[in-house]
Structure 1
Amino acid sequence: MATPVILTGAGSFLGGYVLKALDAEGIDTFALSRQAAATCARHALSTRIKPVDLDLSAPGLEWSPPSDSPHTIIHLAFDRMTSGDGAHGAEINSRITQNVLAICRASNISSIVNASSTSVYGKPDGGLVSAETAPVSPSEYGAAKLLAEQLLVDAPQVASVISVRLPAILGRHAHPENWLVRVAQRLMQNQDLTYSSPGFKFNNAVLASDVAKFFVELAAMNDLPTDVRAPIGSTAGPCLAEILRQMRSDLNSRSGLKVSPASQSPFGIDNSAAEKWGYRPHDILETIRQFTRDFAQDA
């Protein structure tokens, strides 16, 4: 029988996909978010998914599952820090991390599958980023993700943490700030698109359904690694120029595609660390085409 799961950020875009994957696998789950009950009702989930309405960013939060059985945490909850107030966002994310660790202490939970971000790498000088790549001047959001990774690993009550560093996540109703979502919006409106690095072998995107499947597989493992920080992406395929032409064709767009000089070298993703733990990357062109099909249906 699979270990029960505590899912934070259940009401997020990715959280909906993870909830449905957990339910499909028959895994008992506590779904934590500010509107967990409404989220579970919207997705028509079974009774094995138990909603818990709470705000993980609230100070001094006290909650633990009413059970002595072991649980694994899939940790998605995080403030996107898009308000421009980096200090406030950092404070919110610090409280979220501390509350997750408090749940671990109260429930004797020692395994966490943590949703991190490739933004932790900041501005590396092109090439492929891997688990060993050192961060270079990450944004405030990337620095906050990096700090959360370290706080989870350093906590004495947490024995196993795998931080999956996520690129752009695509799917139905993906976040509007996602670069590929904004590209699709411009193409649907037949607006010209200016971009850089046309020859770049782009693989910095994954489908939310693939991420959800990977997270559930990790949570079901009996022995998670002590500390793994693994970036994931799709397989490298055609260059960025070809990908954008394919998106334009799939969306029946009349947009012009214009190339501008790049301000920095783009980087791709080395999947090898995640592949050791069962990650199976999909072809980037298939990923993009699935996204454009979904986007066209939602438009």
Structure 2
Amino acid sequence: MSWVITGGAGYIGSHVVRAFQAKGIEAVVVDDLSTGRRSFLSDDTPFVEGSILDGALLENAFDEHGVTGVVHLAGYKYAGVSVQRPLHTYQQNVTGTATLLAAMESAGVGRIVFSSSAAVYGTPDVDLVTEDTPKRPESPYGESKLIGEWLIADQAKAAPLAHTSLRYFNVVGSGAPDIFDVSPHNLFPLVFDALLAGRTPRINGDDYATPDGTCVRDYIHVADLAEAHVVAAQRLEAGEALDPVYNLGSGDGVSVGEIMRAVAEVTGIEFSPEIGPRRAGDPARIVASGERAARDLEWKMRHTLAEMVESAWAARKAAV
């Protein structure tokens, strides 16, 4: 049993790789290092540097390593920036997924776990998002993830392909002191970078219809997320039926204000966040049910908010 992890040198991908390795499953990484870091992987991790747009490279990797499945994490993940770079986003996320599926079919690789996103829902009008909540993506990124799901489902009708897609929201924390979130757009890195630079973190709006006036979101620990990928791969490898999609949600959510208070407590840096205007399109609350994933993928929230902040802060400080 050997699985390719596309995007496996990234923040999430490297955690997935280590989760596979912890279960004794060989993980072969394909990554172009556009945002990933080779240092996030152990020296003995099989590594192929290249793009998922290179079908020949993918086929060679599948054949050389006797690959039986793929966890597809590679893609352009910046929703806001995707509005300015729609063609690039579609090339990386849609053309890349189609190229990957073609290479898998050619090499006889018949299992895939796809990294999808809560961005497929857009701004939902329900308190608790389920897999059946209408999909209304509001960015090229969200659209490309939904199209990726469609591509995989359609390919499964045309060729032998066991598959599932995992939709998740805000991934935080660290499962290892040498891996940290490198995104310039995510909340935790933005807050930590501000504190390390002596600046005051900022909240975009505090007048929402929520308990403390700040937006409520699903925040899940990256190590919990990685475990769900491994279980999904193992179930597919065993020939067990899985649903086409699962939400990896917390069921209750955390407000931005709560996160700021937890950061101040964990870091020991007292601050009162600056309050800026609302960002256009930011809903007051987006929280998902993880019941189906709990049923089939052993999904659960194993980390508290304090543990999410503590692990992320320790990893970020170690990188300074």
Choose which of 252, 266, 279 in structure 2 pairs with 1:250.
266
Q: How has the CA–CA distance of structure 1 residues 68 and 92 changed in structure 2, closer, same or farther, with 3 Å as cutoff?
A: closer
Q: How has the CA–CA distance of structure 1 residues 283 and 261 changed in structure 2, closer, same or farther, with 3 Å as cutoff?
A: farther
**Aligned sequence identity (%):** 20
Whether 1:212 aligns to 2:212 is: no
Q: How has the CA–CA distance of structure 1 residues 264 and 33 changed in structure 2, closer, same or farther, with 3 Å as cutoff?
A: closer
Amino acid at match of 1:9: G
Q: Which residue of 2 aligns with 1:80?
A: 77
Choose which of 275, 291, 294 in structure 1 pairs with 2:294.
275
Distance 1:291 1:54 in 2: 28
Q: How has the CA–CA distance of structure 1 residues 59 and 109 changed in structure 2, closer, same or farther, with 3 Å as cutoff?
A: closer
Distance 1:116 1:141 in 2: 10
How many Å apart are 1:112 and its aligned residue? 0.8
Distance 2:65 2:317 in 1: 47
How many Å apart are 1:202 and its aligned residue? 4.1
Gaps of at least 5 residues in structure 1 are none
Higher helix share: 2
Q: Which residue of 2 aligns with 1:157?
A: 159
Q: How has the CA–CA distance of structure 1 residues 125 and 292 changed in structure 2, closer, same or farther, with 3 Å as cutoff?
A: farther
Q: Which residue of 1 aligns with 2:169?
A: 167
Provide the alpha-carbon RMSD of the alignment. 3.0
Whether 1:63 aligns to 2:77 is: no
Q: How has the CA–CA distance of structure 1 residues 224 and 148 changed in structure 2, closer, same or farther, with 3 Å as cutoff?
A: farther
Distance 1:74 1:59 in 2: 16
Distance 1:249 1:208 in 2: 21
Deviations 1:52-88 (A, max 9, x none): 2321124776614226966011111112353622123
Q: Which residue of 1 aligns with 2:188?
A: 180
Amino acid at match of 1:180: F
Distance 1:238 1:26 in 2: 34
Greater Cα offset, 265-274 or 278-287:
278-287
Q: How does 1:6-21 map to 2 (within 5 A)?
A: 6-21=4-19
Q: How does 1:73-112 map to 2 (within 5 A)?
A: 73-80=70-77, 82=81, 84-112=84-112
Q: Which residue of 2 aligns with 1:43?
A: 41
How many Å apart are 1:192 and its aligned residue? 4.9
Amino acid at match of 1:211: L
Amino acid at match of 1:290: S
Q: How has the CA–CA distance of structure 1 residues 164 and 42 changed in structure 2, closer, same or farther, with 3 Å as cutoff?
A: closer
TM-score, normalising length: structure 1: 0.84
Gaps of at least 5 residues in structure 2 are none
Distance 1:21 1:55 in 2: 23
Distance 1:40 1:109 in 2: 25
Whether 1:193 aligns to 2:193 is: no
Maintained 8 Å contact 2:69/2:233: yes
TM-score, normalising length: structure 2: 0.79
Q: How has the CA–CA distance of structure 1 residues 290 and 35 changed in structure 2, closer, same or farther, with 3 Å as cutoff?
A: closer
How many Å apart are 1:185 and its aligned residue? 2.7
Q: How has the CA–CA distance of structure 1 residues 297 and 68 changed in structure 2, closer, same or farther, with 3 Å as cutoff?
A: closer
